[in-house]
Amino acid sequence: MRQNLTEDVGPDTHSTACCSKAMPPRKKRRPTAGDDLSAKKSRQDNVYRRQESSHIQEAEAFSSKRCLEWFYEYAGCDDVVGPEGMEKFCEDIGVEPENVVMLVLAWKLNAQSMGYFTLQEWLKGMGSLQCDSTEKLRNCLDYLRSILNDATSFKLIYRYAFDFAREKDQRSLDLNTAKCMLGLLLGKTWPLFPVFNQFLEQSKYKVVNKDQWCNVLEFSRTINLDLSNYDEDGAWPVLLDEFVEWYKDREMSS
């Protein structure tokens, strides 16, 4: 450092007092061969970093071809994943077929029939999720579960479940299927579900229609656990009127 200061100030360095004054501008130093090599190496490093980043993005990017190959791992020679393929698919992603996350996935794929994924549903749905492999879908499961925490999305999934689960030649859900689906969707979040399930088991009902289905969700969200704010003159279906009456009689006799 002293040598540089001496060069900058000039030969007249009779005291150190001048060092406290503003230092005159330094002379421009000519680039050396070492500087050229350093700059070249820096540019090469930047190129390598860009290439590496590009390879990572390419590896992470969604591939329709890879997604198609993934589909046929489960569909075999068909253009639809059927029950056997679905069983293997669930096993590979580590999810039980009756897990609610499979319903959310079916909703994302807009699958029309329970237990089946068509090629078109798969490509469009997995494309929207940017999943083209088992590993990517496994990493997406927490996101799919989190969708259920959004009230608006949950309502859409709940309504979708009715059409997804019903026999396509029927307008209603048979009672056993309805109870299973209600348990899947409301079993852990609606404290009255166990008693409502008991009511359905002993009731005269053999099927649940769409109006009844949609109103059960509204009931579970708006009616107090003691049913104190239930309006019998409201626009509730008879099914829920009968449930409230049955529940109150049950509470009084217990």
> Tens digits of per-residue pLDDT, 23-38?
444 455 555 555 555 5
> What is the C-alpha to C-alpha distance for residues 253 and 40, in angstroms, rounded to an integer?
89
Kind of pairing between the strands at 173-174 and 117-118: unpaired
Report pLDDT for 38.
59
Q: Judge whether residue 120 has pLDDT over 90.
A: yes
Report pLDDT for 148.
97
3-state secondary structure of 176: helix
As a residue count, the chain comes to: 254
pLDDT band at 173 (very low <50, low <70, confident <90, very high): very high
Q: Judge whether residue 158 has pLDDT over 60.
A: yes
Compute the average pLDDT of residues 122-131. 97
Burial of 87 (0-12, 13-18, 19+ CB in 10 A): middle
Report pLDDT for 30.
58
Look at 68 and 9; give whichever has higher pLDDT.
68
Q: Judge whether residue 50 has pLDDT over 90.
A: no
pLDDT band at 6 (very low <50, low <70, confident <90, very high): very low
CA distances from 189 to 103, 111, 149, 153, 217 (A): 16, 25, 11, 15, 11
Report pLDDT for 168.
87
Report pLDDT for 24.
46
3-state secondary structure of 187: coil
Report pLDDT for 252.
87
pLDDT band at 59 (very low <50, low <70, confident <90, very high): very low
Q: Judge whether residue 227 has pLDDT over 50.
A: yes
Q: Judge whether residue 228 has pLDDT over 80.
A: yes
- Among 56-60, 133-137, 250-254, the range with the most confident prediction by mean pLDDT is 133-137
Q: Judge whether residue 134 has pLDDT over 60.
A: yes
Look at 29 and 115; give whichever has higher pLDDT.
115
Tell how far CA 186 is from the center of its chain. Answer: 19
pLDDT band at 253 (very low <50, low <70, confident <90, very high): confident
Report pLDDT for 20.
39
Q: Answer whether 129's CB lies under 8 Å from 150's CB.
A: no
- Cα–Cα–Cα angle for 127, 71, 79, rounded to 5 degrees: 110
Q: Judge whether residue 3 has pLDDT over 50.
A: no
CA distances from 61 to 53, 55, 66 (A): 12, 10, 11
Q: Which two tokens stand for residue 212?
A: 């009844």
Report pLDDT for 44.
61
